[in-house]
Structure 1
Amino acid sequence: MIERGPQRPGGNAAAPVVSRSLAALVSLVVLVLLAAGCGLSSPSEAGSDGPEGGGCAGTPAPVLAEVDALDDPRSWDGPASPVLGSCDVRPVAGGARPQLPVTLSDAQGTRVTINDTSRILALDVYGTLARTVFELGLGDSVVGRDISTQFPDAADLPLVTQNGHDLAAEAILDLDPTVILTDTSLGPWDVILQMRDAGIPVVVTDSERSLDNVDDLTRQVAAALGVPQAGRALVERTTAELAQVQQQISDVAPSDVQDQLRTVFLYVRGQSGVYYMFGEGSGADSLIDALGAYDVAEEIGWSGMKPVTDEGIVAAQPDLVLMMTGGLDSVGGVDGLLERLPALAQTPAGEHRRFVDMADSEILGFGPDSASVLNALAVALYAPGALS
């Protein structure tokens, strides 16, 4: 609920709460991994500390409707690494003028009043919040970034994360932000409490990430920054683009379940010995469904995120494995992964080396560029020969 009017006292300093939606397990498990030093790839893991690590370099995947799809999506041997190519921001409302003050209850129920959006920090483990702020037309007001915010327009902004995804209180305070947007995917949480104690309005958005709530997250960000009209415009554009890509996918994806690619999503961090399979309610399931593939997790009752087991891999028998590029790199590519998970080598995906990886900050970001992500992945699944 949003109210406009005089400033009210800031909200309480409650500890983070997990979304009731099962998909919020994404944030919960990521927090556990972060605590163990196993978060999304840092420069040392992915081999890059610039925009290239976000998949913005390279030849972009063509439009799915403009390439010849395979008659049988199982008739190719991988791997494939689709990239978005251009990651240019496309603001829906250049020069947007926030209508302030705004008073709202954030995703945790904390009461927050925002009087000034001239110095914005938007921080989460996938870089989705910052991208949304830029697409709303407020990129010029963003003063810093997290390691996952790697698109070119934000590349020169100072980092406020260290050791991967740890928030650095001193770095944040040095930037003198007038508002901070975040969720529960970054820590330590004490840093967020410290920012509130310093008098900085902190708005905690929904931590759930899936194709089902892209619109809701966009509206939350737009409302907090006083640009609801730009938020509506961005929602309409994103919805239309997703619908167009999904129609193109439906034109080439097998309609019979038995012909669809049996697909799983693996989250891997070789340096830390982390091997997870993402199941129902993880966000990866909505991606697999949107690609017209068969989500094996539902069949084998794999909910949320769990460590990979030989039994789980054997039961899944995937035709295709989706991964983050940083994760695949961390185990030495496909050969290294099959060596570490020998049961995977005995599956159709392993035998045919059908592994599709995409930049960590994109594949499960579920933000304004979701249609481009979906298109690039769909080309990899149904027309891999069209990728350069």
Structure 2
Amino acid sequence: MKFLPILFLLFAGLSACSPAAESAAADSEPGTSDTHRIVSLSGTLTELLYDLDFGDQLVGVDVTSTYPSAVNDVPKLGHVSQLNVEGLLALHPTLVFVAEEAKDKPALKTLADAGVTVVPVTMYPTLDNAARAATVLARHLSIDEQKIAEYTAGIEKDKRELEEKLAANEGERPRVLFIYARGARQLMVAGTDTEAAAIIELAGGENAIQSFSDFKPLTPEALVEAAPEFILMFTSGLASLDGKAGLANIPGISQTPAFQHDQIIAMDGHYLLGFGPRAAQAAGELAGKLHNRISK
């Protein structure tokens, strides 16, 4: 499954490392203390840490960490691929959580060599990704097993509710094309084996591109092949084109069934493709837009 670390970098923008507001805390072994100085280098893991009541122990986050709003008060460290190691070490972290696919970045090796505990967490494009990640965090944080069980049960409840809604539209799978945009000169479409394809399928749709995997540049030929009934974008991506009017200027877009029937869907990027605690809610909201009979 292809995730979007580079695209999220473009989406969020680069940010310089902010100075630490707190003094160094004593180092502690994973799982042996209730207090840590945590750095999260994943928006999904940041949201999960807040959900598990560890938000007050965050001393630094990456640029993909945009939710909840309280995270705006935490120093930003840039993107995981361009970390300022000295600035990060100045925060005196005791734990650094990062998505598995980024674990081999040179900056993270430097942190580990400096004695910082770096914990890679495997991400899955599934509705229960947050629950699976929570079990990994629990190996390093003092999280009560009952809390994990209740958290997992809540996610399972959201999944069942989504499945019940989709059951009413069994057999109806509208063709959906996901377009990543950062201005008119940076347009890409999602093929198979992408998190965009995964969320579309979880919401009861069919990814409109089946002839290739990963992301490729948008071409008029791809639009003809896709013939999408819906076009799905990040809210920020559509805004970078000046809205639907700007989207119409992209060659081939105005000839698609999606554009002709004004079926353009824009959603927050992290919410839509983060596969965090709100993944089932995001899939349900998308399903509501794809199937008129499904309430959000």
How many angstroms does 1:202 deviate by?
A: 0.5
Q: Work out whether residues 143 and 157 of structure 1, in 8 Å CA contact, stay in contact via their aligned partners in 2.
A: yes
Provide Cα deviations, 1:179-205, integer angstroms capped at 9, x if missing partner. Answer: 000126669922212211221111111
- Look up the match of 2:36: 118
* 1:270 match: secondary structure: coil
- Look up the match of 1:280: 192
Q: Work out whether residues 219 and 235 of structure 1, in 8 Å CA contact, stay in contact via their aligned partners in 2.
A: no
Q: Which residue of 141, 147, 164 maps to 2:57?
A: 141
How many angstroms does 1:226 deviate by?
A: 4.5
Q: Work out whether residues 122 and 145 of structure 1, in 8 Å CA contact, stay in contact via their aligned partners in 2.
A: yes
How many angstroms does 1:241 deviate by?
A: 1.4
Are 1:169 and 2:81 counterparts? no
Provide Cα deviations, 1:362-383, integer angstroms capped at 9, x if missing partner. Answer: 1101011112222322333334
Q: Work out whether residues 165 and 187 of structure 1, in 8 Å CA contact, stay in contact via their aligned partners in 2.
A: no
Q: Work out whether residues 317 and 347 of structure 1, in 8 Å CA contact, stay in contact via their aligned partners in 2.
A: yes
Q: Which residue of 155, 160, 163 maps to 1:246?
A: 163
- Look up the match of 1:367: 276
TM-score, normalised relative to structure 2: 0.83
Once residues 219 and 351 of structure 1 are traced to their aligned partners in structure 2, the CA distance between those partners, rounded to angstroms, is: 46
How many angstroms does 1:349 deviate by?
A: 0.7
Q: What percentage of aligned pairs have identical amino acids?
A: 27
Summarize the alignment of residues 271-310 of structure 1 with structure 2, pairs less than 5 Å apart: 273-297=185-209, 300-310=210-220
Once residues 207 and 370 of structure 1 are traced to their aligned partners in structure 2, the CA distance between those partners, rounded to angstroms, is: 13
Provide Cα deviations, 1:112-134, integer angstroms capped at 9, x if missing partner. Answer: xx65551111112xx10011111
How many angstroms does 1:219 deviate by?
A: 2.2
- Look up the match of 1:345: 254
- Look up the match of 2:119: 203
Once residues 315 and 377 of structure 1 are traced to their aligned partners in structure 2, the CA distance between those partners, rounded to angstroms, is: 23
Structure-2 change in CA distance of 1:372 and 1:211 (3 Å): closer
Once residues 177 and 123 of structure 2 are traced to their aligned partners in structure 1, the CA distance between those partners, rounded to angstroms, is: 22
- Look up the match of 1:380: 289
How many angstroms does 1:323 deviate by?
A: 0.9
Q: Work out whether residues 127 and 159 of structure 2, in 8 Å CA contact, stay in contact via their aligned partners in 1.
A: no
Give the unaligned 5+ runs of structure 1.
1-22, 45-99, 103-113
- Pairs aligned (count): 281
Structure-2 change in CA distance of 1:233 and 1:166 (3 Å): farther
Q: Work out whether residues 190 and 213 of structure 2, in 8 Å CA contact, stay in contact via their aligned partners in 1.
A: yes
Q: Work out whether residues 81 and 105 of structure 2, in 8 Å CA contact, stay in contact via their aligned partners in 1.
A: no
Code of the aligned partner of 2:200 = I
Once residues 244 and 48 of structure 2 are traced to their aligned partners in structure 1, the CA distance between those partners, rounded to angstroms, is: 33
* 2:198 match: secondary structure: helix
Summarize the alignment of residues 72-111 of structure 1 with structure 2, pairs less than 5 Å apart: 101-102=29-30
Give the unaligned 5+ runs of structure 2.
16-27
How many angstroms does 1:166 deviate by?
A: 3.5
Structure-2 change in CA distance of 1:156 and 1:213 (3 Å): closer
